[in-house]
């Protein structure tokens, strides 16, 4: 409810006298409200899907997955 009130305040009152901290809080409240009210339009999440040939499922064996994970782990170890 506070987010709704804050957004209403933003939309109906000028922010000329608000401090930068108050403006930041107002923007954060608006972002929170919008992302929870309508996540399909305002969410920052992204979804990526992989498909095989002609939209079919990607076929991969457990051994192939294990090898990819081991290579990624080796790269991470090299970075440290």
Q: Which residue in the block uniquely carries the two structure tokens 């090898």?
A: 67
Summarised one tens digit per residue, pLDDT across range 30-54 is: 888 888 888 887 777 777 788 888 8
Looking at the domain assignment, is residue 71 inside a domain? no
> Is residue 3 within 8 Å of residue 33, measured between CB atoms?
yes
Distance CA 3, CA 31 (A): 9
Q: What is the pLDDT of residue 44?
A: 77
Q: How many domains does the chain have?
A: 1
Distance CA 31, CA 53 (A): 39
Looking at the domain assignment, is residue 31 inside a domain? yes
Looking at the domain assignment, is residue 62 inside a domain? no
Q: Residue 20 sits in which domain range?
A: 2-42
pTM: 0.42
């Amino acid at each position: 409810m506070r987010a709704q009130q804050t957004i209403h305040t933003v939309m109906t009152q000028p922010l000329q006298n608000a401090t930068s901290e108050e403006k930041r809080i107002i923007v954060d409240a608006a972002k929170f409200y919008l992302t929870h009210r309508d996540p399909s339009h305002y969410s920052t999440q992204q979804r990526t899907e992989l498909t095989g040939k002609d939209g079919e499922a990607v076929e991969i064996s457990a051994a192939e997955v294990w090898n990819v994970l081991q290579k990624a782990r080796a790269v991470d170890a090299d970075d440290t």
